[in-house]
Amino acid sequence: MRVLLVGGGGREHALALGLVRDPGVSALIAAPGNPGIAEVAELRAVTATDPAAVAALAVETAADLVVIGPEAPLVAGVADAVRAKGIAVFGPSGAAAQLEGSKAFAKDVMTAAGVPTARAYVCTDEESTARALDEFGAPYVVKDDGLAAGKGVVVTDDRSAALAHAAECGRVVVEEFLAGPEVSLFVVTDGEAALPLLPAQDFKRLGDGDAGPNTGGMGAYAPLPWAPTGLVDDVLRDVVHPTLAELRRRGTPFAGLLYVGLAMTAAGPRVIEFNARFGDPETQVVLALLETPLGGLLHAAATGTLAEHPPLCWRDGAAVTVVLASAGYPAAPRTGDVITGADRPGIIHAGTARRAGDGALLSAGGRVLCGTATGPDLAAARDAAYALVDGVKLAGSQHRTDIAAAAIDGRITIPS
Ligand code: AMP
């Protein structure tokens, strides 16, 4: 099977490593890819959000399967254009990707499907925003309605900061604060059948102890030793299947990766958000533990044959990934700094580039790379991931020092 992978971040590097481990994958082409992906795939240039360009590349490269990593191409309808060429594609249609593309649409689907989530109002002016903020009280949660690369959400005790964010965004969802540890659950689906992957946890805030601004994600680990037994089955029953059924009912079935972001509240799991693709950096840890061949799994979802797919196999132990971000991230990431020490297995590239001429590795984005390691338990995986990151030199870089620490120390509790 020839696979075309669309995207060029850490998630796509992790997907690329998973795909080339699959003996059923005979060739991997990535567009646009990154210097890490270049080690395992042929790179092609493409504007990932241009449906006609990606579809033409899929035809030209004789792809049997196209895997779309990021959300922007999905929302732009790239999967539709590829499917129209008769090529199997892992990723939902533009209409179904609205589950991520619009927070208001996602809330509407959840309400119709009876999915447990935060109470919310869609607000477009200061008066309705203020009313919603006052009804829910602090901490205030204000979400940009549109795609914002994981950075459109403000959670704050400062009412004027909440109002200012709403004014900047225009159309927002204001919702009640959900207290409790968060879980990321990835579900591979063909629209009807659904196979859950291992639950993971990511770290959204920039600083240790969840201080500082929200980011795209600063690290992740899996599995979750503190997760209640039966969590995944409960979420499949109460969230995933009702949501898939509602989207089928609307004539826009969701096939691809349904990412369920949950808060484990005193009242049970509540959906914080849906995404229409693999999460970054949770993908790095989840795929590090997956033994089932990835290409075959994604192909089954893309071709409506997931019900016949064998159960997933996982390796024992745990995985941890630690993100190394550039100076100034997330507000104003500095790029163009030289990176050394990154040429080791387990280093996954996100925002990197090769300098023309000498080929030196440079930072080229906010989240630059991450160190991903597995081990017999979380503590061993954590130590190995930090050893990887500690070996990388990048001027002014930032990383959290407490990834997986609370789970290892048994400090995560679900409110009761
Ligand atoms: P989202 O983009 O919706 O995932 O939001 C980004 C982050 O903001 C989440 O991972 C949570 O940490 C936080 N967040 C979003 N919505 C809520 C909520 N209703 N209650 C508490 N935290 C939230």
CA 229 – ligand 1 centroid, Å: 24
Query: Nearest residue CA, atom 8 of ligand 1?
Result: 153
pTM listed for this prediction = 0.96
Does the beta carbon of 198 sit less than 6 angstroms from any atom of ligand 1? no
Rounded Cα gap, residues 5 and 391, in angstroms: 29
Exposure pattern of 369-388 as b/e (b: 16+ CB <10 Å)? bbbbbbbeebbbbbebbbeb
pLDDT value of residue 152: 85
CA 182 – ligand 1 centroid, Å: 9
Atom nearest to 275 CA in ligand 1:
4
Rounded Cα gap, residues 273 and 173, in angstroms: 12
Does the beta carbon of 178 sit less than 6 angstroms from any atom of ligand 1? yes
Rounded Cα gap, residues 302 and 191, in angstroms: 9
Rounded CA Rg of the chain:
20
Residue type, 295: G
Rounded Cα gap, residues 120 and 102, in angstroms: 14
Percent of the chain scoring above 70 in pLDDT: 99
Helix (H, G, I), strand (E, B), or coil: what is residue 198?
A: coil
Sheet holding 120-123, edge to edge: 120-123, 172-175, 140-144, 153-156
Does the beta carbon of 185 sit less than 6 angstroms from any atom of ligand 1? no
CA 289 – ligand 1 centroid, Å: 26
Does the beta carbon of 349 sit less than 6 angstroms from any atom of ligand 1? no
Does the beta carbon of 235 sit less than 6 angstroms from any atom of ligand 1? no
Phi, psi dihedrals of residue 130, rounded to the nearest 5° = -60, -40
For the chain, report the end-to-end CA distance as a whole number of angstroms: 49
Residue ranges of the chain with pLDDT lower than 50? none
Rounded Cα gap, residues 160 and 261, in angstroms: 27
CA 155 – ligand 1 centroid, Å: 7
pLDDT value of residue 151: 61
pLDDT value of residue 149: 62
Does the beta carbon of 65 sit less than 6 angstroms from any atom of ligand 1? no
pLDDT value of residue 199: 98
Instruction: Collect all residues with Cβ–Cβ distance below 8 Å to 364 and sequence separation of at least 6.
Output: 335, 336, 351, 352, 353
Does the beta carbon of 172 sit less than 6 angstroms from any atom of ligand 1? no
